Structure 1
Amino acid sequence: MDLTIDVTDADNQSTVWLSGEIDAYTAPQLKEALVPLTTSEGHQVIVDLEDVGYMDSTGLGIFISALKSAKEHNSSIRLKNLQDRVLRLFQITGLDDIFTIDTAIWGGNK
């Protein structure tokens, strides 16, 4: 399956809507779209993962790269609407303690 990436920009914020699967095949496409958004100082990046049903460790690596870039550039990244399967990946790896995650499915803010 492919990955669809849609980005909208408003003021000092970008919202990224992802749809499909994030794996070794689609991760380079995600990295190319996501990481540059984190390089503007004070920029907020919101990633909506509602339509992502599968993600592997390659995808986690891309999000870690984006978070590292955000911290280096005084910007931020927030994940929202993670499906249970994807959220579990963040929880199992302990990354739910490092990322800001908002999700209606999870029912809370992190």
Structure 2
Amino acid sequence: MELNVSTASQGGHAVVTATGELDLYTAPRLQAALAGLLRDRVDHITVDMSGVEFCDSTGMNVLLSAMKRLKEHGGSLELAGPRPAVKRILQVTGLDSVFTVTEAAPAMDAG
């Protein structure tokens, strides 16, 4: 299974939409998108997880690393709309109390 990643940004906020499976093989694609936003000094990133069917520890580590780097500069990262399987991983690992999790990503023009 592939992972497709797209980004839309507006001001200092970006929405990264991921669809597919986030695992050891596909995580570098998400990591590259997040690293690009960090380089561009985006303050707030929402990762739309509503299309992610599976996420392993590698995927979680990519998200944690990006959140840590954003927080170091006063920014934030949130996860939007995770499916039940991803929600379960967040709960089992305790990461549901680390990440801000919202029901849906904000509407934003692709850019």
Q: TM (normalized to structure 1)?
A: 0.87
Residue 108 of structure 2 is matched in structure 1 by none
Q: Residue type of the partner of 1:92?
A: V
Report if aligned partners of 1:35, 1:65 keep a CA contact under 8 Å in 2: no
Residue 92 of structure 2 is matched in structure 1 by 92
Report how many aligned residue pairs link the two structures: 103
1:29 CA drift (Å): 1.2
Does 1 or 2 have the higher relative contact order (CA < 8 Å, sep 6+)?
2
> Structure 1: how far apart are the matches of 2:37 and 2:71?
12
**Unmatched 5+ residue regions in structure 1?**
105-110
- Listed one character per residue, the Cα deviations across residues 38-97 of structure 1 (whole Å, up to 9, x for unaligned) are 4526x1101111110001111011011011111111111111100000011011110110
RMSD: 1.4
Report if aligned partners of 1:21, 1:55 keep a CA contact under 8 Å in 2: yes
> Structure 2: how far apart are the matches of 1:38 and 1:95?
22
Residue 30 of structure 1 is matched in structure 2 by 30
Report if aligned partners of 1:38, 1:45 keep a CA contact under 8 Å in 2: no
Asked if residue 65 in structure 1 is aligned to residue 65 in structure 2, the reply is yes
Report if aligned partners of 1:30, 1:62 keep a CA contact under 8 Å in 2: yes
Report if aligned partners of 1:38, 1:73 keep a CA contact under 8 Å in 2: no
Report if aligned partners of 1:38, 1:75 keep a CA contact under 8 Å in 2: no
**Unmatched 5+ residue regions in structure 2?**
105-111
> Structure 2: how far apart are the matches of 1:35 and 1:66?
7
